Amino acid sequence: MNELINSDSVNPNLPPETKGNILLIDDLPENLRLLTELLTNLGYTPRCAISGNRALKSIRLKLPDIILIDIQMPEMDGYQVCQAFKEDSDLCDIPILFISALDETFDKLKAFQVGGVDYITKPFQIEEVVARLETHLTIQRQKKRLQDEIAKRVQTELVLQEANRKLELMANLDGLTKIANRRRFDDYLSSEWQRHQRDQNSLALIMIDIDYFKRYNDRYGHQGGDDCLVRVAQAIAQVPKRSTDLVARYGGEEFVVILSNTDTQGALKVVRAIQEAIASLAIIHENSDVSDYVTLSMGFASLIPTLDLSPEVLISYADQSLYLAKQKGRNQAIAYGKI
């Protein structure tokens, strides 16, 4: 790299170009000094490394926008340094321009094969170096803007997805009790009905009503009633353990439980567990005719869905059983067809 530049071509009146951080790698200090002075005067911010090893060790302190590298250097030549950069995921996107007195086609082809983006032969004119630098710096800036735009769009998409997820969650949750709402119940029962019809498995439904809840509201106020609903709902929701089961607020003080792959005996076990869970709450109910505490009436049914039946049949069976439980004095559970 002895004939670095044709000094007659330097124009001292050349206006400063757009700034860029440039790493110069050359084993000859005089070449580095000359290039540093020229590029600094033109508005760039160059820094130097006197060998490939030093460049690899120091480059992470501040990543350059572009690299100018000589080929003929001891220890590691420019090709080897370029390959090392390209094999590093943090450095591989930095454009590398080769500057060399080697002018054979083989040398130029090898420079591009190892990952170089350009090749400048010596002696050269500074205007050519600047033009090549600006071309690749412009590409880098455009690439960075594109990456930033893509990142922003991806982030926006993630935000929208999360917002939609929350909206969907809100649309399927009861605002007071934070369990599934009637809409979610209707949709889920329909899908589970089709699945159990296809697989020919039993699907069970429990309908639940808080006993004398109107009296509870009259005695403890609407805030007290809301607190009671929340506690009861959360207690019921803790009983089913499978992800395929669903506890929902059906309306007012009524709740429903969908139990997949469950026959009447299996539903009865869940019913008893719900009764125990509510009893453990020990919510005082001074206006109840059946207990000093909040109790539930429950009706449940189980069947294997068929083509000639609809989900409304299962709801009707469970509802009829609930009506009987209330008619027979409340604070009890009745299975469809058992009374």
Domains, the chain, with CATH or none: 7-147 (3.40.50.2300), 182-335 (3.30.70.270)
pLDDT at 168: 82
- The continuous run of DSSP H or E covering 281 comes out as helix 264-281
pLDDT at 19: 78
The model's pLDDT over 107-139, given as tens digits with 9 standing for 90+, comes to 999 999 999 999 999 887 888 989 999 999 999
pLDDT at 150: 93
Q: Which of 74, 79, 73, 75 is nearest to 109 (CA)?
A: 79
For the chain, what is the total number of helices (H) and then of strands (E)? Answer: 9, 10
| DSSP E strand stretches across the chain | 21-25, 45-49, 66-70, 96-100, 118-121, 203-210, 246-251, 254-259, 296-303, 333-335
pLDDT at 18: 52
pLDDT at 3: 43
The model's pLDDT over 4-54, given as tens digits with 9 standing for 90+, comes to 444 444 454 544 445 789 999 999 898 899 899 999 999 999 999 999 999
Quote the pTM value: 0.59
**Positions of the chain with pLDDT lower than 70, given as ranges:** 1-18, 338-339
Name the maximum alpha-carbon separation found in the chain: 111
| DSSP E strand stretches across 42-95 | 45-49, 66-70
Query: At 147, is the secondary structure helix, strand, or coil?
Result: helix
Token output for 59:
């480059």
